[in-house]
């Protein structure tokens, strides 16, 4: 049986940052997508970026979270989908971002198709703080034929938010990173020189749960480290007041495209992951490990599942602990080498092709 034809929708503007966006594009778009799909995102306001092959952009405005306006927004998404999707050409739905508008719109547009719900950390975090998002999450998981979580921590968090969910529907399928990144030889990096500052890299969104403030406070109390930040510009600017107040000279790299980020990995000594609450998988950490960059992380649910002992767990909220661990890294070349080897072995467990194959097999079972 061929791979079932999928319809899937992420109601974020094309070009938005985030791990879920990168995973979505990796799986469903390109000239030879891993999962054949009608894949949709929103057309951004103003100049439209070049969309990858296989991605359709819907011109729907009014994205919001709550109240009457949210109902209007979902109806507009539904109308836009009905206008362009032939139900006969679709065999299964992949529901993304279960707490937002795309999922109810896709369910209404294609109500008779089997449904696979993919759970992301953003869904759960928003459901915890927004009543409408919690209702949509619960309704989406109730209507889904299968619910995919990347880690056991995500399943546990989902069950706390939606306790009536049928656990028999939950399938654990790890998210993956591009196979070519795993196959490529990591670029050579020069050995660290005695007394050289430890080059830390933060890469990702700077929303509250990502721990940017904790990272800046930790770095401000430590000598002999240089911090680089790759993040959306407006989020970096929002952090600038804290950087200035604490006297931290962070180098801003911009919001890097993936190949640029992979190149930046070779220019740093450690990737820092100070997340405060939850991570679905921590794909950027796995990409760093595949590129020979060790990871220093806060052992929150999700990251603890994904990284375990392959990276160095620390406490970014405790200046003495983080200072001790950074000093261990600076003074021990053997520790850095051991973390690189453990990281490479860990990243190799998560090829994107395995994610795609597992999702495809699940769809075949439901069709």
pLDDT (tens digit, 9 = 90+) per residue, 28-64?
999 999 999 999 999 998 777 678 999 999 999 999 8
Instruction: Identify the pLDDT of residue 51.
Output: 84
Instruction: Identify the pLDDT of residue 161.
Output: 97
Name the pTM for this structure: 0.94
User: Per-residue pLDDT for 143 more than 80?
Assistant: yes
Domains and CATH numbers, the chain: 6-176+351-366 (3.40.50.2000), 181-347 (3.40.50.2000)
- How sure is the predictor about 195, in pLDDT bands with cuts at 50, 70 and 90? confident
| Distance from C-alpha of 102 to C-alpha of 89, rounded to nearest angstrom | 19
Strand pairing partners for 170?
147
Residue 57 backbone phi and psi in degrees, to 5: -110, 130
Question: What is the rounded average pLDDT of the residues 131-150?
Answer: 96
Number of other CB atoms surrounding residue 112 within 10 Å: 6
Question: What is the rounded average pLDDT of the residues 126-146?
Answer: 95
Cβ atoms of 54 and 29 within 8 Å: the answer is: yes
DSSP-derived secondary structure letter, 54:
T
Q: Which of 139, 148, 41 is closest to 94 using CA atoms? A: 148
| Distance from C-alpha of 212 to C-alpha of 230, rounded to nearest angstrom | 12
Question: What is the rounded average pLDDT of the residues 2-18?
Answer: 92
Q: Which of 137, 121, 162, 95 is closest to 302 using CA atoms? A: 121
User: Per-residue pLDDT for 187 more than 80?
Assistant: no
pLDDT tens digit sequence for 244-303: 999 999 999 999 999 999 999 999 999 999 999 999 999 999 999 999 999 999 999 999
- How sure is the predictor about 196, in pLDDT bands with cuts at 50, 70 and 90? confident
| Distance from C-alpha of 123 to C-alpha of 147, rounded to nearest angstrom | 13
∠ CA 32-265-228 to the nearest 5 degrees?
A: 125
| Distance from C-alpha of 146 to C-alpha of 166, rounded to nearest angstrom | 10
Q: Calculate the dihedral angle through the C-alpha atoms of 283, 199, 315, 277, rounding to the nearest 10 degrees.
A: -30
User: Per-residue pLDDT for 186 more than 80?
Assistant: no
| Distance from C-alpha of 43 to C-alpha of 14, rounded to nearest angstrom | 6
| Distance from C-alpha of 82 to C-alpha of 111, rounded to nearest angstrom | 11
| Distance from C-alpha of 126 to C-alpha of 273, rounded to nearest angstrom | 21
Instruction: Identify the pLDDT of residue 45.
Output: 84
Q: Which of 149, 154, 182 is closest to 286 using CA atoms? A: 182
User: Per-residue pLDDT for 350 more than 90?
Assistant: yes
Instruction: Identify the pLDDT of residue 194.
Output: 72
Can you list the positions of beta strands (E) in the chain? 6-13, 37-42, 55-58, 92-95, 115-118, 146-149, 170-172, 198-203, 225-230, 251-252, 270-273, 295-297, 312-313
| Distance from C-alpha of 291 to C-alpha of 288, rounded to nearest angstrom | 5
Question: What is the rounded average pLDDT of the residues 227-249?
Answer: 95
User: Per-residue pLDDT for 137 more than 90?
Assistant: yes
Question: What is the rounded average pLDDT of the residues 338-353?
Answer: 97
Instruction: Identify the pLDDT of residue 30.
Output: 94
User: Per-residue pLDDT for 8 more than 70?
Assistant: yes
HSE-CB at 327 with a 13 A cutoff on CA atoms is 9
Question: What is the rounded average pLDDT of the residues 157-183?
Answer: 96
Instruction: Identify the pLDDT of residue 193.
Output: 73
User: Per-residue pLDDT for 1 more than 80?
Assistant: no
Mean pLDDT of the chain: 94
Residue 83 backbone phi and psi in degrees, to 5: -70, -20
Instruction: Identify the pLDDT of residue 233.
Output: 95
∠ CA 162-40-68 to the nearest 5 degrees?
A: 55
| Distance from C-alpha of 238 to C-alpha of 361, rounded to nearest angstrom | 43
| Distance from C-alpha of 220 to C-alpha of 37, rounded to nearest angstrom | 47
Which two structure tokens, joined as six digits, stand for 96? Answer: 């993304």
- How sure is the predictor about 357, in pLDDT bands with cuts at 50, 70 and 90? very high
């Amino acid at each position: 049986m061929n791979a079932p034809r999928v319809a899937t929708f992420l109601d974020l503007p094309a070009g938005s940052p985030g791990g879920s966006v990168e995973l979505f594009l990796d799986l469903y778009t390109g000239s030879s997508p891993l999962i054949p799909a009608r894949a949709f995102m929103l057309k951004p306001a103003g100049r439209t970026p070049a969309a990858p092959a296989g991605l359709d952009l819907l011109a729907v405005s009014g994205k919001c979270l709550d109240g009457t306006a949210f109902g209007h927004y979902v109806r507009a998404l539904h109308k836009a989908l009905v206008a362009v999707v032939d139900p006969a050409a679709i065999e299964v739905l992949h529901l993304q971002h279960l707490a937002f508008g795309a999922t109810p719109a896709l369910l209404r547009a294609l109500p008779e198709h089997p449904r696979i719900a993919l759970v992301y950390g953003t869904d759960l975090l928003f459901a915890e703080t927004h009543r409408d998002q919690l209702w949509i999450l619960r309704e989406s998981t109730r209507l889904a034929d299968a619910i995919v979580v990347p880690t056991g921590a995500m399943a546990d968090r989902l069950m706390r938010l939606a306790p009536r969910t049928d656990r028999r529907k939950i399938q654990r399928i790890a998210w993956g990173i591009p196979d070519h990144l795993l196959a490529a030889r990591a670029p050579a990096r020069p050995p660290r020189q005695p007394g050289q500052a430890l080059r830390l890299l933060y890469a990702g969104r700077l929303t509250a749960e990502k721990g940017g403030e904790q990272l800046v406070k930790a770095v401000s109390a430590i000598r002999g480290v240089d911090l680089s930040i790759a993040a959306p510009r407006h989020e970096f600017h929002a952090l600038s007041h804290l950087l200035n107040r604490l006297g931290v000279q962070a180098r801003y790299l911009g919001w890097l495209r993936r190949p640029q980020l992979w190149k930046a990995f070779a220019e740093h000594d450690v990737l820092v992951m100070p997340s405060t609450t939850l991570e679905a998988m921590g794909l950027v950490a796995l990409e760093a490990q595949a590129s020979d960059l060790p990871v220093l992380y806060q052992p929150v649910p999700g990251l603890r599942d994904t990284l375990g002992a392959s990276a160095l767990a620390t406490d970014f909220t405790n200046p003495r602990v983080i200072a001790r661990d950074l000093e261990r890294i600076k003074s021990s070349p053997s520790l850095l080498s051991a973390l690189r080897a453990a990281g490479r072995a860990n990243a190799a467990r998560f090829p994107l092709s395995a994610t795609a194959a597992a999702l495809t097999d699940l769809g075949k079972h439901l069709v």
